[in-house]
Structure 1
């Protein structure tokens, strides 16, 4: 989760695509112009150990969009694919 947050912060589309499950991966990543990510807080983790094949991460990410502060909260699902953890999808929460 932290590496994907960092990849969004520096707009590393190649990394994001490599770490996205092929069944849910978009054709490309659209980065929001004027977006600056300002911090990540992991709120909860379930699964995801070496003994699991799936896991979830609930997080809060701060940002500034064109100078206005905001916050994204999401519960993300991850799964093992070819031995690596990849992002499947997420539900934005309030």
Structure 2
């Protein structure tokens, strides 16, 4: 199977432990809609990890989407941990996913950090989209 950016053929970067082709691959590579807010969040993390801007762009609500959604090529996304999910099921209109994503930069800097966010997702045209960080988090 050809994968986005041709770089990932084994375990999905989202941390689920599943194969990419059976996890985020259909959403990131094929553009299929994610069934839940958590699945969309995981696929967006995977798109950042693989550098697939198209998926990030099309899954960001147009009202809050910045002009440039391209992932920072100097960051390597190392791990994702989903901490809490509220709503966001197949029948819901809104959902929140709290996560921690760890990143690093290559030599010579060797910086490490993490992003922790409670992301808000909404349904738009019957597809989950990322609205933005929960301002109350």
The alignment's TM-score, normalised by the length of structure 2, stands at: 0.63
Q: Which runs of 5+ in 2 are unaligned?
A: 1-40
Corresponding residue to 1:83 among 105, 126, 134: 126
Structure ID, larger Rg: 2
Distance 1:33 1:2 in 2: 19
Aligned residues: 93
Pairing 1:43–2:83 present? yes
Alpha-carbon distance in 2 for matches of 1:84, 1:65? 33
**1:22 maps to what in 2?**
62
Structure 1 stretches of at least 4 aligned residues deviating more than 3 Å after TM superposition: none
TM-score (norm 1): 0.89
- CA RMSD across the alignment: 1.8
- Specify every segment of 5 or more residues in structure 1 that has no aligned partner in the other structure, as ranges: none
Q: Which has the higher helix share?
A: 2
Larger relative CO (CA 8 A, sep 6+): 1 or 2?
1
Whole-angstrom CA distance in 2 between matches of 1:91 and 1:11: 24
1:30 to partner: Cα distance: 4.1
Supply the distance in 1 between the matched residues of 2:97 and 2:88 (Cα, whole angstroms). 9
The Cα of 1:19 is off from its aligned counterpart by 0.4
